[in-house]
Structure 1
Amino acid sequence: MNAVPVDFSAASLLAGSPSPLGATWTGDGVNFAVHASGAARVELCLFDDSGEHELVRITLPERTENVWHGFLPAPHGVPGVVYGYRAHGPYDPSYGLRYNPNKLLLDPYARAVVGKFQWNPSLFGHLPEQPTEQINTADSAPYMYKARVVQSEFAWSEDCPPAVPWRDTVIYELHVKGFTKLHPGVPERERGKFLGLAQPAVVNYLKQLGVTAVELLPVQAFVPEEFLAKRGLVNYWGYSSLAWFAPHPDYGVEDPVAEFRTMVKALHAAGIEVILDVVFNHTVEGNEKGPTLSLRGLDNAAYYKLDSTNLSRYVDRSGTGNTLSIGHGAARNLVIDCMKYWVEEMHVDGFRFDLAAVLGRDNAPFRTDAAFFKAVANEPSLRYVKLIAEPWDVGPEGYQLGRFPAGWSEWNDLYRDTVRGFWRGNPGILGNFAERFAGSSDLFRASGRRPTASINYIACHDGFTAYDATAYEQKHNEANLEDNRDGHNHNLSWNGGIEGSTDDPAVIEVRERQIRNLLATLLLSQGVPMLLAGDEFGRTQRGNNNAYCQDNEISWVDWSLAERRSWLTAFVRQLLTLRRYAAGLRRDTFLKGARQVDREHKDISWRHPLGHELNAGDWHDANARAIGVLIGHAFTDPYGTPNGHLLFLCNAGDQPCDFRLPAPTTGVVWQIVFDTSRWRANDLGDRLGAGQNCVVAPHSCVLLADGDAPSTIRSGFSLKT
């Protein structure tokens, strides 16, 4: 980074350009441009390198439509300059105007942030504990982040996006800090940082596990909400964004921007894509009683949805106090520009959008053809990135699963709830289980979308981990200091008879079966599977199902479990190997239950334990706890001809179940690939012919392959190492 002159007394601004927005190094100076449509004047404030001392304020000399701009020539205008804005204008919340030049404002397009953020009464545009109409004249600069001018150069060399097709994608959701904070293979200085994820020990683990993409919890610069800070807690997950272009400074060692790029480059070299969980539905500025940090002080009425009956108040469809006004061009352009930056300059491969229904609302109810979706589709650099929606918000008709545009995939919480419900023994859900296992065609087929539109998961950052879903029936969120009121109560979990940790071998055994059942179902289902980091070795959050504020061992991945439960990691690794072999498990089109010409079995059929295909009465049998899934044409031979079948037998009941086997391919027999009730599935050499019975133990599932399946699959899984 270039040395930045400390003496700005001789600095002056030329007219500059209204585009691009943000602070842009041109080679001979820095162009500053900021949207502030209602401002009467905007000042550029320059700071020392630490951001602690404000050195000079210079009014931006030009305004083009709604953009204020100016050009700072070298030697004053160079990469590394630290800056912020002050916007002068009317302070009248009743008209949606909240200009207050006493508040230092972070550039919405800031590429990097400097200094420390500290909650203080001066951060608020109004006087704390007073009506919001009373302006607060205290200077907020000492407590605010500042922006740093960033140079775009980086030695990407031959970095190439892996471009993994959706059908082959396996997503691994992780937290940058929590994943490496306790990792023994990461140097102490890099634990919990972007560079920690770039370490060979971490990258090799992910590659050997078999995942193809990491989905990172928010890495855009964020700050904890004030109520958490007062309790001595933080927003660990990061869903309290302040600067969408800037990597979170706490995840950097020295230069978060360069280190983020280093991480992406290392993961790409291993064939692993990087997907960002982005928060474009709200900011940490909160409701009308919140602080003035950036968007509120620059153009409150453009960037936020305001109550049309009372412009001093905010529409809240995020549950956090405010909602981005995506229907306004300034807000929409900010999001699109941000996405382009992360793709073009930071080389990310996709985005998962938090509370994405907000983005489809414009100024009306949710629409598949909303302006934001059209804008994304029209951007060449965004045309081929992965787009994943969390398909709901807290507004009216907020649940929109299955309604996002073509090209988008969606988190399918119905998959999670149905699979958990089935394995805990809920009655009357065989049909729902079959629909979710087969790719959720009821949600996506009618609009011409594919099974890959469904992101299947049994656990994510929000809620119980997979292990906790087998060990706790009640949430245990006391550490969040909300008297265990936070977090949802619909966990669809079963503890095996004892709540929490136990030494009872019978309970431990049933829990181990259940977690294998959940993971096996997930990785054999149609659609795109997503694993929560650590679920492959039974990570626990001690029953906390809302650990958003726990930056400690509750949330950090305990890598000692990887040693103690290596058998479970091996099971997941082998399931992912099977998924790569079996094209029939990762289809681009929905299963039809149709028999292919000259083929013995349908592409999929649902089997009763007595051997016949399920009929209408079977589907509606509320007492049924067992189902078989015959997957035809699961593999292909070297010439591309479909062959080989898989038979997945599931028994969620508390008694053994005898399944009569359908006829395998002529002249061959069924062989057990794995049985979740046994440590080692292939040590008994089980070979079963047509008409024979396969006994499936309680709370267990068995996978069989016929003789046309590859021998490496038929040889079975080792469930204990």
Structure 2
Amino acid sequence: MSRHALGPEIHAQGTRFHVHSPDADRLWLCLFDAEDRETRLPMARDGKHAWSLDVPGAGEGTRYGIRVDGAYDPGAGLWFDPDKLLLDPYAAAIDRAFVYDPALAAPRGEGADTAPLMPKGVVTAPLPPVAAAPPLFRPGGLIYEVQVRGFTMLHPDIPETQRGTIAALGHPAVIDHLRRLHVSAVELMPVNAWIDERHLGPLGLRNAWGYNPVGWFALDPRLAPGGMAELRGAVAALHEAGIGVILDMVYNHDGESDAWGPTLSLRGLDARSYFRHEPDGRLINDMGTGNSIDCNHPLTQRLILDSLRHFVSAAGVDGFRFDLAPALGRLPTGFDPEAPLLQAMRADPLLSDRILIAEPWDIGPGGYQLGRFDEGWLEWNDRYRDDLRRFWRGDRCTLGSLATRLAGSSDIFGEGSRTRTVNFLAAHDGFTLADVTAYAHRHNEANGEQNRDGHGENFSWNNGVEGASANPAIQAARRRDIKALLGTLFCSRGTIMLTAGDEFGRSQQGNNNAYAQDNAIGWVDWTGRDREMEAYAFALAALRASQPDLQDVGWLTPGDVEWLDEQGQPLTVAQWEDPDRRCLAMRFRRSGLAIFVNGDDRPRSFGGVSVPARTVLPIPADQATA
């Protein structure tokens, strides 16, 4: 494969276009004028695998697409259809968002020309590279997960024209909130161009999360109408406030779905290279989305690495979180933390110092890989989430599981592991933190799938009434439990993650899979937020920021911390193993910070310190009484 740059390259006389499609018979570069009139220009083979064309006078702002002709045999991974206009995978911008239409999925010869339905790539001059600098985020801080559109759609201080966009992240009101929470980095849910799943339109729904990408270079115009410059500006504003930016990237599948899905880009150019196939030619569906990207193919690896470099160079982002990350390292023999793509990320000069975070599971064979990624990675820790929810729900479980999670999960990230935990109690995928305490069961009816979608086991509870309640006692119990969950999270060792709005009681009405709720269910309600809860979270964040013992990413050892009972004595073996025991204190030997955990339904006294029922109470050494 030729190593010249793929995609459009602007030069003094025009633009040269390069496209990879080794099995095609013919390619056309299709240019579109202001009235959407199309001009088709045949491309020539440039080596064995690539096609190219130099177009004098085609400069920045030129709108274009690709058409390909050749064999049409989907069972053999050949989807060539000149009626399908394709997006160049290397297009750095598109002129409008994707909208699903059944014609995009019509078999060859059975559908109309899709050019009127397709966004066009836009030739853009690359921005000058951001000056090289180490990532602002350091493991051990607070990551704040943000769904860009829903985060500011209802924010009263954001200008209406800016709401729901990346630019809004740089607004002073947003930055002030983030600083008061001592956020170390915002983690933006997917901002790449995406398309709705085909079943959503008839239901009157649309994808709100973006985990169905089409382009890995182009930003979605709904989130970034100002393109890469908008992202770059928001990153700069956040950096100025001392806050890093992490992008959530989806490289495990693309929005072209299964054999009945639309042909938009990768499928129409070179499905054999980009997607994993069964021996009989069927698409492998390890992601549950219809297709699985072949991250072992050199072409795919090149595309992924190029897109990561693109966001570091053009926007200066601090790192990446990878959706269903085992897909990036799945070899024919199974997951390998030293798979070629994962090694290439760490060896790349531009990427080697970036923050890399794995969602360490997918639904493919051997898909659960918590604790198995390579040195320098951080991993979402669902064991932390589940064990801590079970503790506060009141399940019969030993104090050992609670202490292990508070101390950095040495059973997972201890000797032999080269990665570290990201502790979280709620994420975009699941109940909000408030809904954990208000719903024992999911309520996803609004998604149109008869409440079959989303997690079935949430380790949640409802304090006696399912859903909203006007009962003051139930409301008080739920607020107490949310505070206990927040207290546990902020007092845990290592990196922590909080999803936007969970610090002030955001609810999704019991929907634990709100990917299709681009409405008030999925948007953050700033006006109705719980101000007292928010102040409590701010106080916890300030305390955590002052305590290096909590931000250290190494797991705790007996030399670091004492585990004590109510009398201030070391916990005995019997106390550790008692499944009905709900109380402990942890005291850091170096700093003297004491954290009291009372999971009982009645107050407890720890050596004269009164701890209310179902409460986490941290007390720094300088605030403790003699």
**TM above 0.5, one fold?**
yes
Letter in 1 for 2:44: P
SS at match of 1:249: coil
1:141 corresponds to which of 115, 128, 134: 115
CA distance in 1, matches of 2:193, 2:475: 41
User: Contact (CA 8 Å) 1:510, 1:699: kept in 2 or not?
Assistant: no
Please tell me whether Structure 1 or Structure 2 has the larger radius of gyration of its CA atoms.
1
Letter in 1 for 2:66: Y
The answer to whether structure 1 residue 495 and structure 2 residue 410 are counterparts is no
Alpha-carbon deviation of 1:459?
0.8
Structure 2 CA distance for partners of 1:243 and 1:430, relative to 1, 3 Å = same
Taking only aligned residues, the RMSD between alpha carbons, in angstroms, comes to 1.9
Letter in 2 for 1:592: T
User: Contact (CA 8 Å) 1:424, 1:652: kept in 2 or not?
Assistant: no
Answer with 136-145 or 295-304: which moved more: 136-145
Normalising to structure 1: TM-score of the pair? 0.84
Question: In the TM superposition, what are the counterparts of 1:58-457 in structure 2 within 5 Å?
Answer: 58-73=41-56, 75=57, 77-124=58-105, 126=107, 135-136=109-110, 138-153=112-127, 163-167=136-140, 169-253=141-225, 255-308=226-279, 310-311=280-281, 313-449=282-418, 453-457=420-424
Alpha-carbon deviation of 1:534?
0.7
Alpha-carbon deviation of 1:446?
2.2
Alpha-carbon deviation of 1:605?
1.9
Alpha-carbon deviation of 1:137?
5.1
User: Contact (CA 8 Å) 2:100, 2:196: kept in 1 or not?
Assistant: no
Q: Residue 648 of structure 1 aligns with which residue?
A: 595
Q: Residue 608 of structure 1 aligns with which residue?
A: 565
Normalising to structure 2: TM-score of the pair? 0.96
Q: Residue 584 of structure 1 aligns with which residue?
A: 549
1:658 corresponds to which of 605, 608, 619: 605
Alpha-carbon deviation of 1:207?
1.7
Q: Residue 512 of structure 1 aligns with which residue?
A: 479
SS at match of 2:331: coil
Answer with 620-629 or 183-192: which moved more: 620-629
User: Contact (CA 8 Å) 2:8, 2:17: kept in 1 or not?
Assistant: yes
User: Contact (CA 8 Å) 2:97, 2:222: kept in 1 or not?
Assistant: no
Deviation per CA, 1:597-650: give whole Å up to 9, x if none.
xxxxxx21222234322232222211112222122213xxxxxxxxxx122121
CA distance in 1, matches of 2:134, 2:371: 28
Deviation per CA, 1:110-149: give whole Å up to 9, x if none.
111114534333312516xxxxxxx535211111111001
Letter in 1 for 2:200: L
Question: In the TM superposition, what are the counterparts of 1:559-708 in structure 2 within 5 Å?
Answer: 559-562=526-529, 565-594=530-559, 603-634=560-591, 645-659=592-606, 661=607, 693-706=608-621
SS at match of 2:193: strand
User: Contact (CA 8 Å) 1:171, 1:531: kept in 2 or not?
Assistant: yes
Identity %, equivalent residues: 43
CA distance in 2, matches of 1:382, 1:104: 33
Letter in 1 for 2:263: T
SS at match of 1:241: coil
Letter in 2 for 1:605: E
Deviation per CA, 1:465-514: give whole Å up to 9, x if none.
11111111111111111111111121111222222222222212211111
Q: Residue 10 of structure 1 aligns with which residue?
A: none
CA distance in 1, matches of 2:187, 2:99: 29
CA distance in 2, matches of 1:588, 1:238: 31
Letter in 1 for 2:547: A
CA distance in 2, matches of 1:347, 1:704: 38
Alpha-carbon deviation of 1:329?
0.6
Structure 2 CA distance for partners of 1:428 and 1:340, relative to 1, 3 Å = same
Structure 2 CA distance for partners of 1:59 and 1:592, relative to 1, 3 Å = same
Letter in 1 for 2:113: D
User: Contact (CA 8 Å) 1:159, 1:269: kept in 2 or not?
Assistant: no
Answer with 214-223 or 137-146: which moved more: 137-146
SS at match of 2:29: strand
Alpha-carbon deviation of 1:218?
0.6
Deviation per CA, 1:557-596: give whole Å up to 9, x if none.
101134xx222222222222212211111124332102xx
The answer to whether structure 1 residue 470 and structure 2 residue 443 are counterparts is no
User: Contact (CA 8 Å) 1:305, 1:314: kept in 2 or not?
Assistant: yes
CA distance in 2, matches of 1:181, 1:236: 12
CA distance in 2, matches of 1:137, 1:512: 55
CA distance in 1, matches of 2:573, 2:19: 63
Alpha-carbon deviation of 1:448?
4.8
Q: Residue 19 of structure 1 aligns with which residue?
A: 4
Instruction: Structure 2: state its 5+ residue gaps.
Output: none
Structure 2 CA distance for partners of 1:18 and 1:402, relative to 1, 3 Å = closer
Deviation per CA, 1:149-173: give whole Å up to 9, x if none.
11123696x7966523223x21000
CA distance in 2, matches of 1:399, 1:438: 22
SS at match of 1:113: coil
Instruction: Structure 1: state its 5+ residue gaps.
Output: 1-16, 128-134, 595-602, 635-644, 662-692, 716-721
SS at match of 2:262: coil
Alpha-carbon deviation of 1:18?
6.1
Structure 2 CA distance for partners of 1:578 and 1:121, relative to 1, 3 Å = closer
2:25 corresponds to which of 40, 51, 63: 40
Structure 2 CA distance for partners of 1:45 and 1:18, relative to 1, 3 Å = farther
SS at match of 1:220: coil
Structure 2 CA distance for partners of 1:122 and 1:505, relative to 1, 3 Å = closer
Alpha-carbon deviation of 1:397?
1.5
Structure 2 CA distance for partners of 1:588 and 1:428, relative to 1, 3 Å = closer
Structure 2 CA distance for partners of 1:143 and 1:567, relative to 1, 3 Å = same
CA distance in 2, matches of 1:399, 1:586: 26
Structure 2 CA distance for partners of 1:122 and 1:234, relative to 1, 3 Å = same
CA distance in 1, matches of 2:76, 2:132: 49
Q: Residue 481 of structure 1 aligns with which residue?
A: 448
User: Contact (CA 8 Å) 1:304, 1:325: kept in 2 or not?
Assistant: yes
Letter in 1 for 2:521: I
Alpha-carbon deviation of 1:382?
0.3
Alpha-carbon deviation of 1:67?
1.3
Structure 2 CA distance for partners of 1:280 and 1:417, relative to 1, 3 Å = same
Alpha-carbon deviation of 1:405?
0.5
The answer to whether structure 1 residue 539 and structure 2 residue 518 are counterparts is no
Letter in 2 for 1:270: A
CA distance in 2, matches of 1:161, 1:374: 20
CA distance in 1, matches of 2:12, 2:399: 64
CA distance in 1, matches of 2:22, 2:28: 14
Letter in 1 for 2:114: S
Letter in 1 for 2:615: S
CA distance in 1, matches of 2:102, 2:183: 46
Alpha-carbon deviation of 1:261?
1.6
